[in-house]
Amino acid sequence: MTHQEKRAWIMLVVTVVAYTTYAVIVVGRAHGHPLSGVPYAATMLWSIGAAILASIVADTITSGPRRARITDDRDRQIGRMGEHIGQSLVVVGAVAGMLMAMAGWERFWIANVIYLGFALSAVLGSVAKIGMYHGRLPQW
């Protein structure tokens, strides 16, 4: 397994765990009340910060010697394609957040749809990269 594939796995696992933990905490705080009234900002920031830290630590632990981290053309091509695929959901989340703001939705929903867009982008991009490492690269 190349270092870049390990990084894709790390991103996938860390993103799923961080977002799921965030969602469980926020939903658990609702206690039958509307979600938009639940304090979420600090939890969201901690979730994002913990995910960044966990990714750095996991990448450091799995990195191995410097020569194992060398990337070739295939790694770079997979990385580019995976990022392009994942970024589509960042755009969807940003557009959804913009439309929600224009419609006057509460900040809770806007922030959460943007966070969901980022999380889904990371998941989709990682799954695409892992799939390309285990299959053929599409010829675009």
Crossing angle of helices 41-62/107-134, nearest 10°? 20
Q: Model confidence at 63, in pLDDT bands (50, 70, 90)?
A: confident
- Residue spans of the domains in the chain: they are 3-134
pLDDT band at 32 (very low <50, low <70, confident <90, very high): confident
Q: How many CB atoms neighbour CB 5 within 10 A?
A: 17
Q: 1, 2, 24, 18: which is closest to 76 by C-alpha?
A: 2
Q: How far is CA 38 from CA 30, 35, 135, 140, in A?
A: 6, 5, 44, 45
Estimate to the nearest angstrom the gap between the alpha carbon of 3 and the chain centroid: 18
For the entire predicted model, the pTM comes to 0.88
3 contacts 69 by C-beta, under 8 angstroms: yes
Q: What is the pLDDT of residues 68-77, one digit of tens each?
A: 667 788 888 8
> Could you give the percent of the chain with pLDDT greater than 90?
69
